[in-house]
Amino acid sequence: MRITFPHMGNLYIVGRGLFEYLGVDVVIPPPISKRTLKLGIEHAQEFSCLPLKINIGNFIEAAELGADTIVMSGGVGPCRFGYYAQVEREILKDLGYQYDVIVIEPPDTHFSELLQKIKYLSNGKSLWQVARAIRFGWVKARALDIVEQKVQKVRPRESVKGAADHVYQWALNKIDLAGDVKGVLDVQKLALEKLEAIPQEKDKPVLKIAIVGEIYTILEPFVNLDIEKHLGRLGAEVNRSIYLSEWVNDHLFLGLARMRSGKEARKFASPYLRHFVGGHGQETVGSTVRYAHEGYHGVIQLAPLTCMPEIVAQSILPVVSERESIPVMTIYLDEQSGEAGLLTRLEAFIDLLYRKTDWKKENIK
Amino acid sequence: MKAYLGIDVGSVSTNLVLMDQEQRILQTVYIRTQGQPILSIKKCLAMVMRENPGIEVKGAGTTGSARQLAAVITGADSVKNEITAHAVAASAMVPGVQTVIEIGGQDSKLIILRDGIVTDFAMNTVCAAGTGSFLDQQAARLGIPIEEFGELALKSTLPVRIAGRCAVFAESDMIHKQQTGYAIEDIVAGLCEALVRNFLNNLGKGKQLLAPVVFQGGVAANPGMRDAFARALNTKIIVPEYYHVMGAFGAAILAKEEVARKNGTSFRGFGTANLDISAKSQECTGCPNRCEIVSIVNGSRILARWGDRCGKWSGLSSPGSIVKEKDLMHA
């Protein structure tokens, strides 16, 4: 059994850590590239959203490296992603790839099923060993997010453009290579020190921009055309409504770890949206409200084109934007998205926020 | 005489505005880009040199989709996106403007201002329905010069209903109406209404379009479109005198602001028009992304590079870059 799973931002580092800890043979698909996208577009339905197309590309490229088993998350509610695992299995079968597909439904709704599947995937390891592997994956996920959040703060202020990303790339690689918990924590500490040492223009006026929206598009830089780097270079500090470890905590640990949670975001969504609308639609609305309360200057909503939950959220956001007085811009992404068009919009949005902000008042705060 | 330059290099046209220190327009240039931005920038500069030989340029600004390229070539002081440039220009021409409609060759924009500050905007670059290129195409198909296309619409007594959501469907609907005998002016007027509907549906959703409304960009020359907007919004539509070069005008104003901040200009001078500047594109083989890197070169000297995801090539021009210059071919 050689396991693979789709890319989604830094997920591959966590996945590799977890499976290798259990002694499972794991094949990470090559980094998402134009070829991945091309393979996906060629074999997926035109009207399906971008995550499906890239998943397909990932799986084809992983098969070329010898993967034979896919671990894929399922989903509940109106978001189409819930049955993508099944659709992808059928497409791959038609193409002649002999994949065994294991669908992990969100554990907060199907916990016993999850245990069964883990048992199958873990090569008969004891639950204790599985728990230790999950903890190891968790430590990596936390380290990645802690380092990334620091990078997001340094990017807009660094004197030499690209310095923070240089350290970030180094840290990603080191965290991926670390073989035990101590190793991961050491890298985390060192990375934070290195980031702290980067020369920065501390008193430069910096805008705070939040990215909200659909999880895949906000976590995967290939899909969102590196929006965070662009915003950083334009002088904005970025925070996201979803970080990998928060998602893991919400769904796998039932929110037991004390940190920002989806539940909290959903609370903020009231009175604008009180219902689950699938995907992260409700969290998008709630997070926008929360970021407005936290004094952010603007919010950017990201979603794959035709994403239903985010369309629902988008239709509610103008009211949120007005009442909470926070500018919101929505960007849909698909294989047609061009970086030039994105940059023009980002620049215009940043200009809008700069000219609107009373920096004298801001400094007193 | 002292003046400021604004250059707007768009997909369809390249525009230049020469403005004096009191923001009065001295010269405007409007030429077709024809897929050759470098050549058109040089042409524009040469035209200024010819008409205003004694001019002393205090600052230069660029905007439009080729703003980076234009900035590298001319040594511009400010490089700004089209939204900001158009908003600044509209505010200067029509103080107190609250809504700016801009329709150019391949994209359209809606900018909402309150108290002179942009509070919201929308841009339509995915769909070409309703932009200048489509109107051009339809005028050509009907054998009517584009300049007369709009006038024709004003003669209509009963604009026919045309499906305006998509340029392809609009065209087939127009042909259908034409083949069943509707008057050509009614069809043209119907098309204008459909395009306005398309614009308002796509860009205007969720936004309050308050007067004064300024309409600019190449399509503002079309009286049929002006009329259709006036009817749809039930208000007067203001078309500024220099509606076709507002982006360049905005760029000139932004350049003036920037020069005042930083003292002095980095404008290379009109000699640029004679330089041997060209663009080369190469594929970087450093990772599977295979980015297409564009290098802007003057003879053998590299002025700028972009197109990379990781920033290792575009970062080269910034002093103190981490990556040292290497030959791209051996990356």
| pLDDT tens sequence for chain A (365 residues) | 899 999 999 999 999 999 999 889 999 999 998 899 999 999 998 888 999 999 999 999 999 999 999 998 887 778 888 889 999 999 999 999 999 999 887 766 667 777 788 788 887 788 888 889 989 999 999 999 999 999 999 999 998 888 899 999 999 999 999 999 999 999 999 999 999 999 999 888 899 999 999 999 999 999 999 999 999 989 999 999 999 999 888 877 777 777 888 888 899 999 899 989 988 999 999 999 999 999 999 999 999 988 999 999 999 998 999 899 999 999 999 887 777 778 888 998 998 888 878 776 665 54
pLDDT of residue B322: 41
Nearest Cα residue to A280 out of A261, A253, A293: A261
Same structural domain, A191 and A215: no
Could you count the other beta carbons within 10 Å of the beta carbon of residue A100? 12
pLDDT exceeds 60 at position B125: no
Residue of B nearest to A340 (CA): B65
Q: Max CA-CA distance within chain A?
A: 64
> Which H or E element spans position A3?
strand A2-4
d(CA B165, CA A133): 54
Which residue(s) pair with B123 in the sheet? B109
Same structural domain, A21 and A114: yes
Nearest Cα residue to A80 out of A324, A293, A256, A279: A279
pLDDT of residue B68: 87
d(CA B88, CA B80): 11
Same structural domain, A214 and A276: yes
Cβ A161–B206 below 8 Å, yes or no? no
* Residue A363 structural domain: 206-365
Which CATH number describes the domain made up of B99-239?
3.30.420.40
Q: What is the pLDDT of residues B253-299, one digit of tens each?
A: 999 999 988 888 888 888 777 778 888 888 887 776 677 888 888 87
Which of A289-293, B165-169, B246-250 bottoms out in mean pLDDT, i.e. has the lowest? B165-169
Q: In Å, what is the CA distance from A316 to each residue of A286, B51, B101, B143? A: 11, 54, 25, 46
Provide the 8-state DSSP code for B160. Answer: P
Mutation site for A-interface testing, chosen from B203, B310, B316, B318 by largest number of A Cβ within 10 Å: B310
Higher pLDDT pick, A272 / B127? A272
pLDDT of residue A46: 86
Q: In Å, what is the CA distance from A247 to each residue of A117, A138, A200, A243? A: 20, 11, 31, 6
pLDDT of residue A364: 52
Backbone angles phi, psi at B66, to 5 degrees: -105, 30
pLDDT of residue B240: 95
Distance of CA A183 to the CA centre of its chain: 24
Which amino acid appears at position A346 of this protein? L
Same structural domain, A169 and A236: no
B215, B237 Cβ separation under 8 angstroms: yes
Could you count the other beta carbons within 10 Å of the beta carbon of residue A212? 29
A65 touches chain B (CB under 8 A): no
CATH of the domain at A323: 3.40.50.11900
Task: Reduce the DSSP state of residue B279 to 3 states and report it.
Answer: strand
Cβ-based contacts of B320 with chain A (< 8 Å):
159-160
Q: In Å, what is the CA distance from A40 to each residue of A26, A334, B163? A: 22, 12, 33
Q: What is the pLDDT of residues A249-302, one digit of tens each?
A: 887 777 777 788 888 889 999 989 998 998 899 999 999 999 999 999 999 999
Residue A169, token pair as written in the block: 């790339």
Q: How far is B162 from chain A (nearest CA, A)?
A: 26
Domain extents for chain B?
A: 2-87+246-274, 99-239, 277-330
Cβ-based contacts of B65 with chain A (< 8 Å):
340, 344
d(CA B214, CA B231): 14
Cα–Cα–Cα angle for B213, B194, A49, rounded to 5 degrees: 100
Comparing CB atoms, the residue among A162, A343, A347 nearest residue B311 is A162
Question: Stretch B193-208: mean pLDDT, rounded?
Answer: 85
Mutation site for B-interface testing, chosen from A352, A353, A356, A358 by largest number of B Cβ within 10 Å: A352
pLDDT exceeds 80 at position B28: yes
Angle, helix B184-203 to helix B132-142, in steps of 10 degrees: 170
- Tell me how many domains chain A contains: 3
pLDDT of residue A258: 77
pLDDT of residue A336: 77
Distance of CA A64 to the CA centre of its chain: 26
Comparing CB atoms, the residue among A162, A318, A336 nearest residue B322 is A162
pLDDT exceeds 70 at position B303: yes
Cβ A160–B318 below 8 Å, yes or no? yes
Same structural domain, A254 and A344: yes
Q: Which of A49-63, B105-119, B154-168 has the highest mean pLDDT?
A: A49-63
The CATH number of domain B2-87+246-274 is 3.30.420.40: yes
Interface of B with A (CB under 8 A): 65, 80-84, 117-121, 123, 125-126, 206, 287-290, 309-312, 315, 318, 320-323
Backbone angles phi, psi at B127, to 5 degrees: -115, 135
Nearest Cα residue to B258 out of B72, B61, B34, B117: B61
B223, B152 Cβ separation under 8 angstroms: no
Going along chain B, which residue ranges are E strands? 2-9, 13-20, 25-32, 56-63, 78-79, 99-103, 108-114, 117-124, 213-216, 237-238, 277-283, 292-298, 301-306
Q: HSE-up of B308 (CA within 13 Å, CB side)? A: 21
Sheet (strand A236-240) strand order: A236-240, A207-213, A298-304, A328-333
Q: How far is B289 from chain A (nearest CA, A)?
A: 5
pLDDT exceeds 70 at position B306: yes
Q: In Å, what is the CA distance from B28 to each residue of A6, A315, B8, B245, B249? A: 54, 42, 11, 7, 9
Same structural domain, A218 and A183: no
Residue of A nearest to B107 (CA): A341
Same structural domain, A39 and A105: yes
Same structural domain, A299 and A272: yes
Same structural domain, A162 and A272: no
Pairs of CB atoms within 8 A across A/B = 75
Task: Reduce the DSSP state of residue A210 to 3 states and report it.
Answer: strand
Q: How confident is the model at residue B329 (pLDDT cuts 50, 70, 90)?
A: very low
Q: Is B99-239 in the same CATH topology as B2-87+246-274? A: yes
pLDDT exceeds 60 at position B327: no
Question: Stretch B113-132: mean pLDDT, rounded?
Answer: 76
pLDDT of residue B324: 44
pLDDT exceeds 90 at position B142: no
Same structural domain, A240 and A353: yes
pLDDT exceeds 70 at position B128: no
CATH of the domain at A80: 3.40.50
Backbone angles phi, psi at B71, to 5 degrees: -70, -40
pLDDT exceeds 60 at position B91: yes
Same structural domain, A223 and A302: yes
d(CA A147, CA A171): 8
d(CA B244, CA B104): 9
d(CA A241, CA A260): 9
Residue B144, token pair as written in the block: 């009517």
Same structural domain, A214 and A354: yes
Cβ-based contacts of B125 with chain A (< 8 Å):
338, 341
